[in-house]
Amino acid sequence: MLVRWVRRRWASAGQGRDRRRSDPNTALGYLEQLPALRLLERLPVPALAVDEEGVIVHANPALERMLGYPEHWFAGCSVADVVVPASSPGGPASVALLRDCAGKVIELAHREGFVVRAAVSRSVLCRKDDPVTFVCFQDLTEQLWGGGRAPEFE
């Protein structure tokens, strides 16, 4: 498939065109038009977004599959509902837990009652004033059961 990169010509053609936008027929133009939530839904990596109070604002389908829950089940739940309750505080402390566990293995609660061990990434949104913490997970359950060592994950 041939994609033409004609950003400058398109952006400068005609009056009323926004010079900062790419041609929607290019790969970059396509990405610029795609809403962020749609991108998060398509990620093959389990991902979770929580607000400052520890309320889940988004869990992508990969995370829901990893933990055995139906689509959109996590919306409005607390992080303590996902992270194994014995090791998880609630509210703002749960957000700090996610941020402090970057690169470490934590235990997540599967719908059927067993524990899923997963490495946590750093928050993708890393500014201190970001109102959302967005982390990804790497399921290590089978690897850890087999006696393997957890890889570094950030």
The set of residues, in sequence order, having a beta carbon less than 8 Å from that of 105 and lying 6+ positions away, is 117, 118, 119, 120, 140, 144, 150
Residues 39-81: tens digit of each pLDDT: 788 889 999 988 888 899 999 999 999 999 998 899 889 888 8
**What pLDDT score was predicted for residue 19?**
56
Confidence bin at 144 (pLDDT 50/70/90): low
pTM of the model: 0.71
Q: Are 61 and 41 in contact (CB under 8 A)?
A: yes
Q: What is the pLDDT of residue 46?
A: 95
Mean of pLDDT values over 90-109: 81
Strand order in the sheet with 115-120: 56-59, 47-51, 132-139, 115-120, 105-109
Residue percentage of the chain with pLDDT more than 90 = 21
Paired residues of 134 in beta bridges:
49
What's residue 131's pLDDT? 85
